[in-house]
C-alpha cells in the first residue's frame, strides 16, 4: 500500500472512531458521564482525523495547512492520546506535564519549519516528538506493572514498540536518506505510516477495553464501599465481619461491635441542606477514624448510622473507645462554609458471642443503641451480658454518659 493511501486510511479510521464515540456518548445523563470520561481520548481522535486529512490533501491545499498546521495538530492528537492513558492510570494532573511539553515540542518543530531546515531533520524531529509522546503514554501503563492486567501489559508493550518504530523511522530517514539496498525512502515512509496505523487500531481498541476494565473495577469497588464517606458500606462491612464471627467460636479475646447513630441528623439536612449534611457526614467519619486503630474497621450501614468493628477488644475496652468517639464528636463543631454545626451521637456496644449470627449480633448492638437514644441521646450504652437486662445508666455512677 502506498504512503498516500495509508494517510487516507488513517484519516478515515480516525473519523470513523470519532463518529462511533459521538453516537456512543449521545443522549442520557449516564452517557454524558461516559462522554466526560472519554473526552481526552475523543479529542485525540478528532485532532488526528483533522491532521491526517490535511496531510492527505497536501498539494491541493495551501502548504501552511498541509505542512506546519497538520503536524502541530498531529502532535496535539498524540499528546492527548498519552494524556488519556495517564488519566486512565489515575494520574489526573497529566495536563501540567503534557501540555507544556506539547508547547515546547510544537515551538521547536515550528522553528525548524520557519528556518527551513533540511527535510530529513524535520522528519526526524517530528517522528521523535510523536514517539516520545507515545512512549510517555506507554509509561503510564507500565508504572503499576506487577498489578497490571494482561490487557494493560499488552497495550503498554504494543504502544512502546510502535512508538520506537515511528521514532526509528525518523532517525533512519535522517541518517540514511537514500535508504539501503532493497529499502528505499518510500518503503521507510510506508513503514512509519503502517506503525501509525497499527497504533490507531491497537491503541484505540486497547484504550477502550482498558476504560471498560477500569469501569468494571470501579463498580466492583463501589459494591462494597460507600461513595460518600469512602468507608465500607453495609455489604462491605458484613463481608469484613464474617471471619470475626467465625473466630468468636474459638477461645481468645472477643471482637467488639459498636453501632453509632448521629443524633437528629435530619435537622442538619433540614437547616443547612443535603450537600452540607454530606460534608458533615464526611467530617464525622474522619473524626471517628482518628480515634481508631488501623486494625479497627468503620463502615456505613446507611443514612447517619455507622458500625465499627474492634478486633481483640473486651466489652469494657470497647465502651471506652465508644465513649472517646462520643466525646470527640460532641466536642468537634464541624465548620462547613459559613456554618458551624455541632453534633452528638448515640452508640451501642456489644461483643461477638460464640453462638452469634450477624443477625443476632446486630440486633443486640441495635438494642443497646436504642437504649442510648431513649436515655436522651449523646450516650454510650453497652448490651448486657447474656440473659441480663440493659444496665441502668443512673446506677452507673461516675460513668458520665456511658451506660
Ligand atoms: N446529607 C445526607 N443525609 C442523609 C444521607 N443518608 C440519609 N440521610 C438523612 O439522615 C437522616 C437520618 O435520620 P435518622 O437517623 O432516621 O434520624 P435522626 O434525625 O438522626 O434522629 P435520631 O436518629 O432519632 O436521633 C435522614 O434525614 C436522612 O434523610 C446522606 O447520604 N446524606
Instruction: Among 9-13, 165-169, 265-269, 389-393, name the one with the lowest average pLDDT.
Output: 389-393
Residue 248 — pLDDT band, cuts 50, 70, 90?
A: confident
pLDDT tens sequence across 352-365: 999 999 999 999 99
Mean pLDDT of 292-313: 95
ipTM for the assembly = 0.90
Which atom, in ligand 1's list, is nearest to the CA of 275? 1
pLDDT category at 34 given cuts 50, 70, 90 is low
**Residue with more model confidence, 54 or 114:** 54
CATH tag for 3-224 (out of 1.20.1070.10, 3.10.580.10, 3.40.228.10, 3.40.190.80) = 1.20.1070.10
Mean pLDDT of 182-198: 90
Residue 238 pLDDT more than 50? yes
The answer, yes or no, to whether residue 398 has pLDDT greater than 50, is no
The angle at the Cα of 236, spanning 232 to 239, to the nearest 5 degrees, equals: 140
Is the pLDDT confidence value at 393 over 90? no
Q: CB of 140 within 8 A of CB of 86? A: yes
Distance between Cα 373 and ligand 1 center (Å):
14
**pLDDT digit string, tens, across residues 103-148:** 999 999 889 888 888 888 999 999 999 999 999 999 999 998 999 9
Q: Tell me what pLDDT residue 197 has.
A: 95
- Would you give the DSSP letter of residue 255? -
Of the candidates 282, 378, 266, 382, the one whose C-alpha atom is nearest the C-alpha of residue 331 is 378
Residue 323: what pLDDT?
A: 97
Superfamily of domain 234-395: Reverse transcriptase/Diguanylate cyclase domain (3.30.70.270)
| C-alpha distances out from residue 333 to 196, 280, 283, 289, 339, Å | 59, 10, 10, 16, 10
Q: Write down the domain spans for the chain.
A: 3-224, 234-395
Pocket residue to mutate for ligand 1, from 227, 259, 266, 370, most atoms within 8 A of Cβ: 266
- Cα–Cα distance, 334 to 19 (Å, whole number): 49
By most ligand atoms within 8 Å of CB, the mutation choice from 233, 261, 269, 304 for ligand 1 is 304
Ligand 1 atom closest to Cα of residue 267: 19
Question: Which range, of 250-254, 360-364, 390-394, averages the lowest pLDDT?
Answer: 390-394
pLDDT of residue 399 exceeding 70, the answer is: no
Residues 373-400, mean pLDDT to the nearest whole number: 66
Whether residue 389 is predicted with pLDDT greater than 60 in this model: the reply is no
φ, ψ at 166 (rounded to 5°): -65, -45
Is residue 28 predicted with pLDDT exceeding 80?
no
* Per-residue pLDDT, 296: 95
| Confidence at 29, pLDDT banded by 50, 70, 90 | low
Index of the ligand 1 atom closest to the CA of residue 274: 1
- Between 270-279, 376-385, 390-399, the lowest mean confidence (pLDDT) is in 390-399
Rounded CA gap, 4 and 193, in Å? 9
pTM of the model: 0.71
Residues enclosing ligand 1, CB less than 6 A? Answer: 228, 261-266, 269, 274, 277-278, 281, 303-304, 373, 377
What percent of the chain is predicted at pLDDT more than 70? 93
- Contact present, 378 and 326 (Cβ < 8 Å): yes
Nearest CA to ligand 1 atom 18: 264
- At residue 27, the pLDDT reads 62
Q: Is the pLDDT of residue 36 over 70?
A: no
368 neighbors 259 (Cβ within 8 angstroms): yes
How does pLDDT run across 270-301, given as a tens digit for each residue?
999 999 999 999 999 999 999 999 999 999 99
Q: What average pLDDT does the structure give for the chain? A: 90
Under 8 Å between Cβ of 307 and 299: yes
DSSP 303: T
The DSSP line for 331-387 is T--EEETTEEE---EEEEEEE--TT--HHHHHHHHHHHHHHHHHTTSS-EEEPPSTT
What pLDDT score does 35 carry? 65
Amino acid at each position: 500500500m502506498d504512503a498516500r493511501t495509508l494517510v487516507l486510511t488513517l484519516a478515515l479510521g480516525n473519523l470513523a472512531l470519532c463518529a462511533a464515540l459521538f453516537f456512543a456518548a449521545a443522549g442520557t445523563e449516564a452517557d454524558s458521564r461516559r462522554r466526560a470520561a472519554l473526552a481526552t481520548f475523543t479529542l485525540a481522535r478528532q485532532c488526528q482525523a483533522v491532521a491526517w486529512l490535511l496531510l492527505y490533501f497536501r498539494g491541493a491545499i495551501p502548504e501552511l495547512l498541509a505542512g506546519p498546521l497538520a503536524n502541530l495538530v498531529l502532535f496535539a492528537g498524540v499528546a492527548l492520546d498519552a494524556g488519556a492513558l495517564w488519566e486512565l492510570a489515575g494520574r489526573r494532573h497529566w495536563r501540567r506535564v503534557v501540555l507544556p511539553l506539547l508547547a515546547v515540542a510544537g515551538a521547536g518543530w515550528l522553528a525548524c519549519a520557519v528556518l527551513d531546515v533540511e527535510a530529513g531533520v524535520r522528519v526526524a524531529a517530528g517522528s521523535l516528538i510523536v514517539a516520545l509522546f507515545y512512549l510517555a503514554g506507554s509509561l503510564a501503563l507500565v508504572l503499576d506493572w506487577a498489578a497490571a492486567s494482561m490487557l494493560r501489559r499488552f497495550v503498554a508493550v504494543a504502544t512502546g514498540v510502535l512508538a520506537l518504530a515511528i521514532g526509528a523511522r525518523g532517525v533512519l530517514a535522517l541518517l540514511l536518506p537514500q535508504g539501503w539496498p532493497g529499502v528505499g525512502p518510500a518503503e521507510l515512509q510506508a513503514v512509519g505510516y503502517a506503525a501509525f496505523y497499527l497504533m490507531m487500531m491497537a491503541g484505540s481498541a486497547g484504550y477502550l477495553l482498558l476504560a471498560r476494565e477500569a469501569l468494571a473495577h470501579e463498580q466492583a469497588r463501589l459494591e462494597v464501599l460507600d461513595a460518600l464517606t469512602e468507608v465500607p458500606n453495609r455489604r462491605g462491612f458484613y463481608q469484613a465481619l464474617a471471619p470475626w464471627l467465625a473466630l468468636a467460636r474459638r477461645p481468645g479475646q472477643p471482637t467488639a461491635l459498636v453501632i453509632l447513630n448521629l443524633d437528629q441528623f435530619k435537622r442538619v439536612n433540614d437547616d443547612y441542606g443535603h450537600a452540607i449534611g454530606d460534608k458533615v457526614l464526611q467530617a464525622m467519619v474522619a473524626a471517628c477514624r482518628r480515634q481508631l486503630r488501623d486494625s479497627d474497621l468503620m463502615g456505613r450501614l446507611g443514612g447517619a448510622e455507622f458500625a465499627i468493628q474492634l478486633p481483640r477488644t473486651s466489652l469494657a475496652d470497647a465502651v471506652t473507645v465508644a465513649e472517646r468517639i462520643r466525646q470527640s464528636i460532641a466536642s468537634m463543631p464541624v465548620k462547613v462554609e459559613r456554618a458551624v454545626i455541632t453534633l452528638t451521637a448515640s452508640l451501642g456496644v456489644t461483643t461477638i458471642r460464640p453462638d452469634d449470627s450477624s443477625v443476632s449480633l446486630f440486633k443486640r448492638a441495635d438494642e443497646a443503641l436504642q437504649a442510648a437514644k431513649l436515655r436522651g441521646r449523646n450516650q454510650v450504652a453497652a448490651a448486657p451480658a447474656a440473659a441480663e437486662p440493659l444496665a441502668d445508666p443512673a446506677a452507673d455512677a461516675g460513668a458520665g454518659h456511658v451506660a
